[in-house]
């Protein structure tokens, strides 16, 4: 049976993880390769590496990191952050990334999704959607945000999710900026709405604080995968424990 | 031992090369006929769309070379699909090594397409799955699948049962991506290189 995926997300700046602390068993918790390898060994189903460097030098450091990750780990990984062209994607895929995640650039130029899926195949094009529930002239609505969730657009989240699928996205990475960082749980209603409307997998992100939150997002939230960062990095939840917990609740998960 | 990875217009094969690097196997990435024919092992990877890749194989003559090979050949993902008879992906006549058709997953509520993620394979037999635990999970990404047939040596279930692995004579194939299927996937590559 196809399993629900658990995905740790690693924020990388100048080639090093930003939140990687509290791992006594690692030589260097800031080493994004070593941290990823440890998650893979623990049973993470995929990894996401998000480049939060804004400089040109940082970009080439990131590509070098992607190459080292691909050489080292034997599970799929997605890379994202500042990707805006076919050339960017080509460089990252050739370095060994399995998928790329595009966000603001897709909102700015939706045709980019079509171009990338034609060039590289839908299976490796993830569209990340950052969303907030905000007041609009039509009342409260879920609205797509760009630039790390800081800048509102005028696009409704559900409509955008449907559009990116039509344009050839292979997967949606949905981050609720309202839930992100709260540890109060994923945005269940919105995730269920998007996952129900899309015929491509939806990765839920933002708000994970407990193992129950993952159970909730896979059941009530209808998510195909759950992504989190700090709760894994700070060892508040260990992936093997989480998988055992979910298996005990009869959810299909891959246990090593 | 000489291992060749067949070079064609497939998508990214970098992860296949890295997987071989990790197990310390050397390889040549080439489309040269004599290099391919003189290899001990041939890997035919695949990421892409069936009709475009098949057209490329015809143009370069690889569509005739691959079925005529005598050494062990291992096709993965779209590589496996191109070794079948026909693919519904843009109605493509394929190489016909395995007498089975590749069909799109029928639209079914509760089943998203592509079939993406880790799924367990079962009922496996043969050299490539030797040493694998029962019901091992592999990483799949595909929208089309070969049905169960006489050559099925491992099956998987998504919407309906399909062939996760095929074997006929010197031809081996896997629908999943061994190169990113953890240690279990690595074991399959090692098993292939040991044949």
Instruction: Give the ranges where A28-155 is alpha helix by DSSP (H).
Output: 32-42, 56-72, 86-95, 104-108, 111-120
| Predicted confidence band of residue A21 (pLDDT cuts 50, 70, 90) | very low
* Calpha distance A245→A212 (Å, rounded): 9
* Calpha distance A9→A173 (Å, rounded): 11
* Span of A17-31, A56-70, A197-211 with lowest mean pLDDT: A17-31
3-state secondary structure of A194: helix
* Calpha distance A145→A176 (Å, rounded): 10
Instruction: Give the ranges where B1-137 is alpha helix by DSSP (H).
Output: 14-22, 33-37, 50-60, 62-68, 78-82
* Calpha distance A170→A22 (Å, rounded): 34
Q: Give residue A19's pLDDT.
A: 61
| Most confident region among A15-19, A178-182, A217-221, B105-109 by mean pLDDT | A217-221
Q: Let me know if residue A117 belongs to a domain.
A: yes
Please give the residue range of the domain that contains residue A179: 5-248
Q: Let me know if residue A256 belongs to a domain.
A: no
Please report residues of B whose CB lies closer than 8 A to that of A1.
Answer: 119-120, 157
* Span of A45-54, A98-107, B31-40 with lowest mean pLDDT: A45-54
With CA atoms as reference, report the closest residue to B138 among B189, B89, B101: B189
pLDDT (tens digit, 9 = 90+) per residue, A158-190?
A: 999 999 999 999 999 999 999 998 999 999 999
Burial (CB < 10 A; 0-12, 13-18, 19+), residue B68, is exposed
Q: Let me know if residue A125 belongs to a domain.
A: yes
Most A CBs within 10 A among B15, B121, B155, B181, hence the mutation to make, goes to: B15
Q: Let me know if residue A255 belongs to a domain.
A: no
Q: Let me know if residue A254 belongs to a domain.
A: no
CA atoms within 13 A on the CB side of A75: 25
Could you tell me if A229 and B117 are in contact, meaning their C-beta atoms sit under 8 angstroms apart?
A: no
The owner of tokens 């074997």 is B167
* Calpha distance B90→A87 (Å, rounded): 27
3-state secondary structure of A19: coil
Average pLDDT, chain A: 91
ipTM of the complex, rounded to two decimals = 0.92
Out of B142, B177, B178, B190, which one is annotated catalytic? B177
Q: Is residue A33 scored above 70 in pLDDT? A: yes
Q: Is residue A59 scored above 80 in pLDDT? A: no
Question: Which CATH number covers residue A177?
Answer: 3.20.20.70
∠ at Cα A100 (A9, B188), nearest 5°? 85
pLDDT (tens digit, 9 = 90+) per residue, B10-32?
A: 666 889 999 999 999 999 999 99
* Calpha distance B189→B183 (Å, rounded): 10
Q: Is residue B123 scored above 80 in pLDDT? A: yes
Q: Is residue A92 scored above 60 in pLDDT? A: yes
As a whole number, mean pLDDT of residues A63-90 equals 94
* Span of A122-126, B61-65, B72-76, B127-131 with lowest mean pLDDT: A122-126
Q: Give residue A23's pLDDT.
A: 47
* Calpha distance B4→B35 (Å, rounded): 8
Q: Give residue B155's pLDDT.
A: 98
Could you tell me if B98 and B162 are in contact, meaning their C-beta atoms sit under 8 angstroms apart?
A: no
Burial (CB < 10 A; 0-12, 13-18, 19+), residue A24, is exposed
Overall domain count for chain B: 1
Please report residues of B whose CB lies closer than 8 A to that of A74.
Answer: 19, 22, 179-183, 185-186
Q: Which residue of B has its CA nearest to A195?
A: B112
pLDDT (tens digit, 9 = 90+) per residue, B52-79?
A: 889 999 999 999 999 999 999 999 999 9
∠ at Cα B12 (B62, B120), nearest 5°? 95
Whole-number percent of chain A with pLDDT over 70: 94
Question: Which CATH number covers residue B79?
Answer: 3.40.50.880
Could you tell me if A23 and A29 are in contact, meaning their C-beta atoms sit under 8 angstroms apart?
A: yes
Average pLDDT, chain B: 94
* Structure token digits, residue A73: 């780990």
Q: Let me know if residue A9 belongs to a domain.
A: yes
User: Within the 114-173 window of chain A, which residues sit less than 8 Å (CB to CB) from chain B?
Assistant: 120-124, 170-171
* Calpha distance B78→A158 (Å, rounded): 32
With CA atoms as reference, report the closest residue to A5 among A182, A250, A242: A242
| Predicted confidence band of residue A28 (pLDDT cuts 50, 70, 90) | low
Within an 8 Å CB–CB cutoff, is residue A70 touching chain B? yes
* Structure token digits, residue A56: 């040109």
Q: Is residue A121 scored above 90 in pLDDT? A: no
Q: Let me know if residue A41 belongs to a domain.
A: yes
With CA atoms as reference, report the closest residue to B112 among A204, A196, A227: A196
| Predicted confidence band of residue A22 (pLDDT cuts 50, 70, 90) | very low
CA distance A229 to chain B (A): 20
Q: Is residue A224 scored above 80 in pLDDT? A: yes
Please report residues of A whose CB lies closer than 8 A to that of B47.
Answer: 121, 123-124
Overall domain count for chain A: 1
Please give the residue range of the domain that contains residue B32: 3-194
As a whole number, mean pLDDT of residues A100-116 equals 96
Q: Give residue B106's pLDDT.
A: 94
Could you tell me if A208 and A178 are in contact, meaning their C-beta atoms sit under 8 angstroms apart?
A: no
Q: Give residue B50's pLDDT.
A: 87
* Structure token digits, residue B79: 């590589």
Does the bond joining A131 to the residue before it have cis omega, within 30 degrees of 0?
A: no
Whole-number percent of chain B with pLDDT over 90: 87
As a whole number, mean pLDDT of residues B147-176 equals 97
Instruction: Give the ranges where A121-168 is alpha helix by DSSP (H).
Output: 157-166
Q: Let me know if residue A235 belongs to a domain.
A: yes
């Amino acid at each position: 049976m196809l399993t629900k995926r658990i995905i740790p997300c690693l924020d990388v700046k100048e080639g090093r993880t930003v939140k990687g602390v509290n791992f006594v068993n690692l030589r260097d918790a800031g080493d994004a390769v070593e941290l990823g390898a440890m998650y893979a060994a623990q049973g993470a189903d995929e990894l996401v590496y998000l480049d939060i460097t804004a400089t040109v030098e940082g970009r080439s450091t990131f590509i070098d990191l992607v190459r080292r990750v691909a050489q080292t780990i034997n599970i799929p990984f997605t890379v994202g952050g500042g990707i805006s062209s076919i050339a960017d994607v080509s460089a990252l895929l050739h370095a060994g990334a399995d998928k790329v995640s595009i966000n603001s650039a897709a909102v700015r130029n939706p045709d980019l999704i079509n171009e990338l899926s034609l060039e590289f195949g839908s299976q490796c094009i993830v569209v990340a959607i950052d969303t907030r529930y905000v007041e609009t002239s039509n009342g409260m609505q879920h609205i797509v945000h760009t630039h790390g969730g800081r800048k509102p657009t005028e696009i409704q989240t559900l409509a955008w999710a449907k559009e990116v699928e039509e344009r050839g996205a292979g997967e949606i990475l949905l981050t609720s900026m309202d839930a992100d960082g709260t540890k109060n749980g994923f945005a269940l209603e919105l995730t269920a709405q998007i996952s129900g409307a899309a015929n491509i997998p939806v990765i839920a992100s933002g708000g994970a604080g407990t193992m129950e939150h993952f159970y909730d997002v896979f059941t009530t939230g209808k998510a195909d995968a759950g992504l989190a960062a700090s709760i894994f990095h700070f060892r508040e939840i260990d992936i093997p424990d989480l998988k055992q917990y979910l298996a005990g609740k009869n959810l299909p998960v891959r246990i090593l | 031992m000489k291992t060749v990875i067949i070079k064609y217009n497939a998508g990214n094969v970098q992860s296949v090369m890295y997987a071989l690097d990790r197990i310390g196997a050397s390889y040549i990435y080439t489309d040269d006929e004599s290099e391919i024919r003189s290899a001990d092992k041939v890997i035919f990877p695949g990421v892409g769309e069936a009709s475009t890749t098949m057209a490329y194989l015809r143009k370069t003559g690889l569509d005739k070379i691959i079925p005529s090979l005598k050494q062990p050949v291992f096709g993965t993902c779209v590589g496996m699909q191109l070794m079948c008879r026909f693919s519904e992906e843009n109605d493509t006549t394929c190489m016909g090594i395995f007498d089975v058709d590749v069909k799109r997953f029928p639209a079914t509520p509760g089943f998203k397409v592509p079939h993406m993620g880790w799924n367990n394979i079962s009922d496996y037999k043969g050299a490539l799955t030797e040493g694998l635990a029962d019901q091992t999970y592999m990483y799949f990404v595909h929208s089309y699948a070969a049905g169960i047939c006489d050559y099925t040596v491992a099956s998987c279930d998504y919407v309906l049962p399909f062939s996760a692995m095929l074997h006929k004579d010197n031809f081996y194939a896997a629908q999943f991506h061994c190169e990113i299927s953890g240690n279990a996937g690595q074991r399959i590559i090692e098993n292939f290189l040991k044949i």
